[in-house]
Structure formats: C-alpha cells, structure tokens
Chain A
Amino acid sequence: MTMVSEYSFGGDEHLFVKISESMSIQAFAKALTIAERLKAKNIDGVTEICPANASLLVRFDPDVIAPEKIKSITEEIDGTLSGTATNIDTRFITIPVFFNDPWTTATAQKFRDRRQEPDLSDIEFAAKSHNMASVDEFIHRYSAAPWIVTMVGFVAGLPFCYQLVPNSEQIQLPKYLRPRTDTPKLTIAHGGCFCSYYSVRGAGGYQMLGISPAPIFEADSKLTYFQDSMIFFKPGDIIKYRPISQKEYERLADEANKGTLQLDIKNVTFSIEKFMNDPSQPNLAIEEK
C-alpha cells in the first residue's frame, strides 16, 4: 500500500503531516519513523516533534528555520521511506485491569443523558454493539490480543492504543454524544478504534470499560517504572491487558499507593512486516530480546 503524505501548516509555527486519512499500522509506523529521523537530525529551531496515529505534528520557531525549509527536510525523509517495512524495538507491558468496575459504571450513570444507550453501562453497550452474548466475552476479546501505543497525548501521558488484530476484527465504538466533564483517573476506555488509558482525572468522550491500579503519569513517583520519566508510555509500546478481580485491584492499588507496585515489562522487537503478513497472529510478530 503506498501512502502519499499531505503537508499543511498550522499557523506560522507548526507543520502538519497527514500520512493517511485512515488508521493503519503502516501509517503509524511511518509517522513514528519520520519523527525519529527528524529528531536525530537535531534541527535548530524545531521545538516539538509529535508523532500521532496516522500523522505527525512538528512545531518550529520561524525566526530560526523558515517554514518551507522544515517542510522540505521532512518531505525528504518521508520520500525515502515508501515501501519500507520497519522493526520497532520496544517494550511489552502487561497491565492489570478491573473491567466492569463500580466506579466507571457510576460515572457513566451520572452522564447517562450524554450516551447512546442510557439504560446500559458503557461496557454492556460495547458488548451489545458487537453482537456479543456477554460482557465477559467482550472482556476476553479486549484482553486476548495485544495493543500498540500509537499516540501519547490529549493530556499528559495518556496513550491511544490500536489493537493488533485484522481491521475486520477491530472493536469500533462511537464516542459519547456530548463529552463527559469527568472520568476517573486510570480509566480504560474506547472510542473509534482506539483504546485510551486516562492518565489523570478529567473530561473525556470514550466509552468506559474498566479501571487500572497502575498510575501512568506521576511527578516524583516512588514507583520504579517511572525512573526514566514522569510519563510512562511511549509510542510503539505494546500493551496486553490482564483482567483482574476487585480484590486483586484493591491489593494492587494499595501497592501503587505505597510505591511498591511492579509492572511486568519485557524488551521486544515488533516486526511490522510479519504483522502485516498475518495480522491474525500478532504474537508471531513480537519477539522477546
């Protein structure tokens, strides 16, 4: 599949590169690769390089680098990439999730007038709209295949994740009719084809499915997995959700408060080529290092 990027400026300080109008793992990989190569060039006047799901945003100081100049540098990198499949050296992280929990259910109830099916919880709505017999079947489907972080943002440290399954099997849900003004911290939620993991409490429009005990944005944290950065996730990280009970959630949340919670993190290589050849077997594309 050849993708031809479209270039546009956002005011006088941003270059926006739209890799593709629709989401695909290839578009994501291309955005990430352009971002990495741009970063490696250490260009004077470039202040932010933000890869996203299927696009890239670059912020620059036009007093230092002319808009046309940063555009042509980016186009040049972009031009060398067509057709290349990429391997990503990344992390494989297991995240415990208490699905169908009482807190996100109560929040959904509070905003019932902003939802498609006010009489169902968000996860019941998700199961029903995918013709599944039960919420348990939905939870199984959600946690069976891994997810890849394709964008970090919206608010500090919030990952957007794309499930490593064929497009025909992607879970797709509409966002709330009107966004909520509140979402519990560490909610796992879904909108469009993306899963998000709310790093902080706040507004949101994705359908809420569960809650994790593991913080992912914390300044001055005692948790060892924050030793490199106050932001845990990076684009390219691979996540697998492990469903847990309320009892285990409470135990792990307590560990998180005490600063002793550990996450299972492995270093892996993800082959985009292998995944594209057979998206129904994502585990074959992920190799532990």
Chain B
Amino acid sequence: MIQVLDGGLSTTIQDLGRPGYYHVGIPLSGAADIEACTIANWLVRNEADAAVLEGTLLGPKLQFHADTAIAVTGADVEVKVNDTVHPMWEQLKIKKGDVVSFGYPKKGARIYIAVAGGIDAPLVLGSRSTYLAGGIGGLSGRRLKEGDSLSTVQQQGAPTAATHGAPAEQLRDGSSPTLLRVVSGLFSYRLTDRSLDAFYNDEWKVTNESDRMGYRFSGGRKIEFAPRPIPPFGAGSDPSNIVDAGYPYGSIQIPGGIEPIILHRDAVSGGGYATIGAVISADMDKIAQLQPNAKVRFQMVSMEEALEARKARKHRLDTLRDHIKRPV
C-alpha cells in the first residue's frame, strides 16, 4: 500500500491511454510524456503500459508500506527518499516506511513515478488513465489528495530484478526554445499568407492557462484570417469559426487570432475553431514538459519528415529498452 501524504499540485494516475472513444468525446488521456512514462516502467521491469503517477510541477509526497522498487523520470527534479537525494532515471529500492518526495522542476513540468507491479485502479473502458474533465479513470476520476491510499496490480514485497539506468545522452534533447514540428493542413488556408509566416517565424511562450487538455501560447504577432464575404452556413461569424469539426491530437487552433492552442492528451474532441495543422507524433511528449513561459518555435515539416522523426524516436526507445532491461 502507498499512502498519499500530499497530493501535490496535480498528480493523477495515467497509463498509455484509452483509445476508441474519441468519437463520443472521451479523449485518449494517458501519460502526457509517453516516453518518460514508458522508461519509468521499464526501469522497474513493468510493461510499458502499466499505470504510473504523473506529477505536475509540485509533485506528491508518498509513504510506502511495503518493500518495493520505484523509478522517477520526466522533469528534472530532486528526488528524496526520506532525507537522502536519489537519482532520477534509475531503479530505486524502497523499504517499508520510506517517504518519497520531490523538489520543484529545474527543467520540465511533469514527473513520472513507476512502482514495481504497476499502480492499480479499476479499468474504465480498458484503461486506468484519469480523465479529469469527465471524472473517470484513475482514482475516482480526480487528482490525488492527502489521505488517499494506492495499491499495485501485482503484490508488492517480491524483489524486483535490477535494471540499468537510462543514459542521459540517449534521452530527449531538452534545449530551449523547444522546436515543435508541425504538418500544416486542415484549415490552414483560412490564414493570410503573412500570418502563416508569422506563426512559423515568431517565438511563442507558454501561458499559465495550459494543462493536459491544451497548451496555450502568446508572444507572437496577431494572426489574421483570410476575409470571407459570407461565413459558411452554421459556422458562426468570427473569421476563425468553422462548422464544428473534429480536432486531431496535437492540432493547433487560434480562436479570434489571439492565442494559439495545441490540444494534448485530454483534448476536447471537436469544436468550432479553425485548426491550421498538427504537431507531429514524435514531438507531442515535448509539450508535456513545457513550463509556463517556456519558449517555443514551430517548424513546418512534410509528412515524410514526420514519419522519419517517428521512426527515429521508435528506434531510440527500442535501443533504450534493450539497454535498461539487459540483465545486470
């Protein structure tokens, strides 16, 4: 059993998500940084899709009531077991009674805490992921709070075989400004050429109104939509309005031309604003680690480049898995 002594700012149970229900408005959810979640699981010899804890900025404080192994990945934080600092990206042995706590991220925004055996929660539509807006999954569809207790799917107590730590040079590059690659399309023709250029040339900053549903950006030039004499029937009068349509994960919309919003794992599944493209799958994890005020640039890429980047990410992760899980 794991006792929650402090829930932190926004800590939820997440796995790799809940596909298949987007057509009724239930998003994937799942770890915002899938790579970090996957590595944390491998480090404690879980399958990649075991449920973990995702902490945001201020992590939780946890007390373990059985011997176990954990791993902490994601944002760069100080990990303390009782009063001793321990490394991230490695398996940590935990003794019954140990208290684990986390510092504020020096870099990045979300940490992942994997526990040997995987965090337990009822499967809702096939997943343990928390979907906050819908109040389902995880722990009653909500954030962790003081007094909660968690259990693991597989009994704790049995020793977990050691693993190799993830080498820093094989982790994702975290340089600033963060480069997000975008396949342009969807309703991008609604922008003026000048504004399309501005979007891809200007430097943008993450605003405070950013969460698992969407990340919002400011700091670039105002975006103008191409004028239209009569709006299409049912679209609404603002030039950024469309007849409500599905929103891809990673899609970028700019309501009123003011602040671009990128939809993330808890995306709203559709709405009435023109989307101008979507961030490629290989760069979605990077968004999860953006702190408020972090700088971002957007780069237009082709489908071929997007697929190349996806392949490169998969290759890097396969190499990491083989390294981590190789017998010690």
Contacts and interface: CB of A to CB of B under 8 A. Distances in A.
Interface residues of A, number: 59
B281 interface: yes
A155 B241 CA distance: 19
A72 to B, nearest CB: 14
Contacts of A158: 25
Contact of B246 (A50, A155, A233): A50
A50 B131 contact: no
B303 to A, nearest CB: 6
Contacts of A167: 233
B183 A192 contact: no
Interface of B: 19-26, 124-125, 131, 133-136, 141, 182-183, 185-186, 232-238, 241-251, 268-272, 275, 277-281, 303, 306-307, 310, 314
Contacts of B250: 10-11, 13
Interface string A151-170: 11111111010100001001
Contacts of A230: 125, 136
A233 B24 CA distance: 8
Interface string A58-90: 010011000100000000000000000000000
A61 to B, nearest CB: 9
Contact of A53 (B125, B245, B268, B306): B245
Contact of B270 (A12, A50, A172): A50
Decide if the interface of chain A is mainly helix, strand, loop or mixed: loop
B19 A48 contact: yes
Given A11-B306, A13-B281, A154-B269, A192 B24 contact: no
B183 A217 contact: no
A153 B23 contact: yes
Nearest to A51: B23
Contact of B26 (A57, A59, A191, A231): A231
B16 to A, nearest CB: 12
A49 interface: yes
A16 B246 contact: yes
